[in-house]
């Protein structure tokens, strides 16, 4: 989700076309982005963990999210074409659902593997940095299709939409870094994030296939919050802490 894509913010943001008018709203946008990017951040953190090395994880996040911003900007500039070309939204929704199903399959497969001391299946190995960077950028792009299309539909202020995308990417880098560490401590959090990914994907597909059906944003936001509460409900003490 993207704060600039929430229709409830339209009266507040209407007419914002200069930096002097936008700056007082930045704290609101930053706070909203930190909350609304949680589902996306968990998915990106889980993808970055494929590197299985803290330094390579940070490199993957920096490169992947940097590329994601470039793709978001291109998406904004081509938004009118995106809105008219529904198959792109269909592909984005199908990709997010595929990520969700892929996670379920990997969890099922991992349950049959031996687990090492840090909770990682022994058969797992570090993935390609380039593949991880591309996966990060494509996943963020799939998330952005719905939010950018909605943002452009409710606001014709390009400066607002681009600034919202920039704030979203910065917030995403910050929250993804946190979630990389939290995924080691809260075992349910990764599944909660992928369920949220699946919900966003299904929402895209449903609203595309059933034009008359509109899923309220508060339903999606409430679902993400409930999933986060469940994800943080179980904690494994770090190795340095007593069990």
Tens of pLDDT, residues 195-220: 988 888 888 888 888 777 777 777 87
Tokens representing 4 are 């600039």
Distances (CA, A) of 207 to 144, 193, 200, 203, 213: 15, 21, 11, 6, 6
Q: Mean of the pLDDT values across residues 180-196? A: 89
Contacts of 226 (CB under 8 A, 6+ apart): none
List all residues 6 or more positions away from 203 whose beta carbon is below 8 Å from its beta carbon: 93, 146, 215, 220
Angstrom distance (rounded) from CA 217 to CA 223: 10
Determine which of 33-42, 70-79, 202-211, 228-237 has the lowest per-residue pLDDT on average.
33-42
Per DSSP, helices labelled H in the chain are 10-13, 19-22, 26-36, 38-48, 54-77, 79-84, 86-110, 129-154, 158-185, 189-209, 217-231
**Average pLDDT score over the chain:** 74
Give pLDDT, residue 8: 46
What b/e string do you get for 74-106 counting C-beta neighbours within 10 Å, with b at 16 or more? ebbeebeebbeeeebbeebbebbbebbeebeee
Interval 31-44 mean pLDDT: 74
pLDDT score of 95 more than 80? yes
pLDDT beyond 80 at 190 = yes
pLDDT of 230:
92
Q: How many CB atoms lie within 10 A of CB 66?
A: 15
Judged against a pLDDT cut of 70, whether residue 1 lies above it is answered with no
With 70 as the cut, is the pLDDT of residue 232 above it? Answer: yes
CA Rg value for the chain: 18
For the cut 80, the answer to whether the pLDDT of residue 137 exceeds it is yes
How crowded is the C-beta side of 23, counted as CA atoms within 13 Å?
A: 3
Residue 71 binned pLDDT confidence (cut-offs 50, 70, 90):
confident
- Stronger pLDDT, 101 or 214, i.e. the higher one: 101
Q: Residue 124: pLDDT above 60?
A: no
Distance CA 37, CA 3 (A): 9
Q: Which of 156 and 79 is assigned the larger pLDDT?
A: 79
Whether the per-residue pLDDT at 106 is higher than 50: the answer is yes
The CA distances from residue 176 to 20, 39, 65, 136, 190, in Å, are 30, 10, 10, 11, 12
More confident residue, 160 or 43: 43
The stretch 81-96 carries a mean pLDDT of 80
- Find tokens 């930045």 and name the residue: 26
Domain locations in the chain as residue ranges? 3-111+125-231
| Residue corresponding to tokens 């936008």 | 22
């Amino acid at each position: 989700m993207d704060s600039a894509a929430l229709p409830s913010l339209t009266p507040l943001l209407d007419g914002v076309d200069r930096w002097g008018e936008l700056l007082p709203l930045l704290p609101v946008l930053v706070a909203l982005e930190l909350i609304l990017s949680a589902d996306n951040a968990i998915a990106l953190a889980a993808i970055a963990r494929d590197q299985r090395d803290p330094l390579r994880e940070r490199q993957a996040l920096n490169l992947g999210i940097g590329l994601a911003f470039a793709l978001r900007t291109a998406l904004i500039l081509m938004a009118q074409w995106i809105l008219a070309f529904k198959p792109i939204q269909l592909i984005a929704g199908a990709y997010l659902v595929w990520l969700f199903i892929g996670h379920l399959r990997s969890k099922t497969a991992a349950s049959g593997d031996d687990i090492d001391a840090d909770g990682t299946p022994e058969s797992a190995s570090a993935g390609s940095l380039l593949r991880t960077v591309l996966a990060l950028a494509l996943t963020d792009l799939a998330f952005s299709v719905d939010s950018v299309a909605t943002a452009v539909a409710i606001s014709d202020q390009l400066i607002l939409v681009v600034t919202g995308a920039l704030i979203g990417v910065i917030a995403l880098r910050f929250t993804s870094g946190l979630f990389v560490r939290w995924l080691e401590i809260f075992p349910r959090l990764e599944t909660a994030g992928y369920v949220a990914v699946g919900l966003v994907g299904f929402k895209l597909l449903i609203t595309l296939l059933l034009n008359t059906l509109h899923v309220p944003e508060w339903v999606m936001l409430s679902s993400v919050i409930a999933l986060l509460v469940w994800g943080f409900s179980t904690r494994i003490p770090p190795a340095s802490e007593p069990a």
